[in-house]
């Protein structure tokens, strides 16, 4: 019962207190594979689970969350039905003074595989519930990318996320049996690479393929002056250092000291000393220096990383975009001027939303004709995260 209680407690904190699932899971020491699968699975399928449970009962949110955990296990995991029902009934009895024991027992006994048949629903509602994406987001993706790509994104977000890694070129690395390679790059097969001795020794780092592509898109060179805006936790900053064999001069800024410390820790772990960090607000940051390359890893809605951040998926809200888009505009306009004439600015987000991506860039180029759009690229989250990147060149 301890494992299922642990799952329920994490789900409560994520859904009711907006805690981060990955941070909570990082602190557990028992039943790790089971708990991880249950937590992410419940969050990724939250609309489907609510839909199924609502056919049998309407109840308070804490009991709904308990029923969601149990329903996910009943429908998606190879566990004895009796064990699932019995233990979640006992959890409800222990944590809610027996008030909902009969309700939990009755509902869970009715749950069956037939509940997954949604053929009777209209197409858009069926896609929304089956993949647990809100209808407003599906409509936006359909309008921006077309029905086929939209559907592919939704189903891709239900797949297990591959944990891609980077190899530190400045250290001698002998890869172990848990590291494999596919057409996109190296990845970690089982467990969390952060617990591997190779990671602790600074020989590998965790970074998704799409995020790594941003550095390759930037194409930094040795001895260039480069600034990374909104840099924490530092994955791209340190990838730039690796890419240039530690020979570029990198400035990394972020809004909070606590997040800057993450970059400092990564510098120390990987052994790079060509990075200067600063606490600064990217919307107002001033610098007398002009850089060869500026990377703006802009704050965004995160619609490209829903596969790996199911807590973001759970809390999706279409009103969040308005303030984000305005902040992006301020950062881009303020920090693009840090680049030298002839230098390049790369603007990147981990979202799939043209209002934050293509439209943001087209508005900037229209307002500032001394910049030209060189190239833009969208990566859809089919085998990795979803990302957008645009390269601008300053003409005068």
Domains of the chain: 2-116 (1.10.940.10), 123-156 (no CATH), 209-394 (3.40.50.150)
294 burial level (CB within 10 Å; 0-12, 13-18, 19+) = buried
d(CA 170, CA 210): 22
**How many Cα atoms sit within 13 Å of 361 on the Cβ side?**
23
Q: How far apart are the C-alpha atoms of 46 and 260, rounded to whole Å?
A: 34
Q: Are 230 and 296 in contact (CB under 8 A)?
A: yes
User: Can you list the residues of the chain whose pLDDT is less than 70?
Assistant: none
DSSP symbol at 151: H
Determine the pLDDT at residue 366: 98
**333 alpha-carbon distance from chain centroid:** 25
Q: What is the pLDDT of residue 282?
A: 98
Nearest to 85 by CA among 68, 102, 70: 70
- pLDDT for 208-254, tens place per residue? 999 999 999 999 999 999 999 999 999 999 999 999 999 999 999 99
Residues in the chain: 396
- List active site positions: 350
Take residue 247 and report the two structure tokens written for it: 């020979």
Residue 120: other Cβ atoms inside 10 A: 7
Q: Which pLDDT score is estimated for 96?
A: 84
Q: Rounded to the nearest 10 degrees, how much is the dihedral formed by the CA atoms of 357, 362, 367, 373?
A: 100
Separation between Cα atoms, residue 196 and residue 204, nearest integer Å: 9
Instruction: Give the chain's radius of gyration (CA, Å).
Output: 23
Q: Cβ–Cβ contacts within 10 Å for residue 262, how many?
A: 18
Closest CA to 345 of 208, 214, 212, 209: 214
Residues 125/12, Cβ–Cβ less than 8 Å: no
pLDDT for 209: 98
Q: What is the pTM of this model?
A: 0.93
């Amino acid at each position: 019962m301890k494992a299922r209680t642990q799952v329920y407690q994490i789900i409560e904190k994520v859904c009711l207190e907006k805690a981060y699932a990955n941070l909570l899971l990082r602190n557990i020491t028992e039943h790790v594979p089971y708990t991880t699968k249950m937590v992410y699975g419940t969050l990724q399928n939250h609309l489907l689970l609510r839909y199924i449970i609502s056919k049998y009962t309407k109840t308070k949110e804490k009991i709904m969350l308990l029923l969601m955990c149990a329903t996910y296990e009943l429908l998606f995991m190879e566990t004895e039905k009796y064990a699932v029902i019995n233990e979640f009934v006992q959890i409800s009895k222990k944590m809610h003074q027996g008030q909902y024991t009969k309700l939990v027992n009755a509902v869970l006994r009715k749950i069956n595989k037939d509940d997954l048949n949604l053929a009777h629903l209209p197409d858009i509602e069926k896609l929304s519930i089956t993949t647990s994406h809100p209808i407003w987001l599906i409509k936006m993706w359909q309008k921006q990318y077309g029905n086929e790509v939209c559907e592919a994104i939704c189903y891709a977000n239900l797949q297990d996320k591959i944990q891609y890694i980077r190899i530190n070129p400045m250290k001698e690395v002998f890869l172990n049996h848990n590291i494999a390679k596919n057409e996109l790059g190296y990845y970690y097969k089982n467990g969390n690479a952060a617990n591997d001795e190779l990671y602790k020794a600074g020989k590998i780092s965790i970074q998704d393929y799409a995020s790594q592509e941003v550095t390759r898109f930037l194409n930094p060179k040795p001895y260039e002056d480069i600034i990374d805006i909104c840099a924490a936790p530092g994955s791209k900053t340190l990838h730039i250092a690796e890419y240039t064999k530690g020979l570029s001069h990198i400035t990394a800024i972020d809004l909070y000291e606590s997040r800057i410390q993450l970059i400092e820790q990564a510098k120390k772990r990987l052994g790079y000393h060509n990075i200067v960090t600063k606490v600064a607000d990217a919307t107002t940051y001033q610098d007398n220096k002009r850089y060869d390359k500026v990377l703006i890893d802009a704050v965004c809605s995160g619609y490209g990383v829903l596969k790996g951040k199911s807590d973001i998926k759970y809390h999706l809200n279409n009103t969040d975009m308005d303030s984000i888009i305005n902040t992006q505009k301020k950062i881009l306009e303020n920090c693009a001027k840090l680049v030298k004439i002839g230098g390049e600015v790369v603007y990147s987000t981990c979202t799939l939303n043209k209002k934050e991506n293509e439209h943001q860039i087209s508005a900037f180029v229209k307002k500032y004709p001394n910049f030209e759009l060189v190239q833009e690229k969208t990566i859809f989250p089919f085998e990795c995260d979803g990302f957008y990147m645009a390269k601008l060149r300053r003409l005068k």
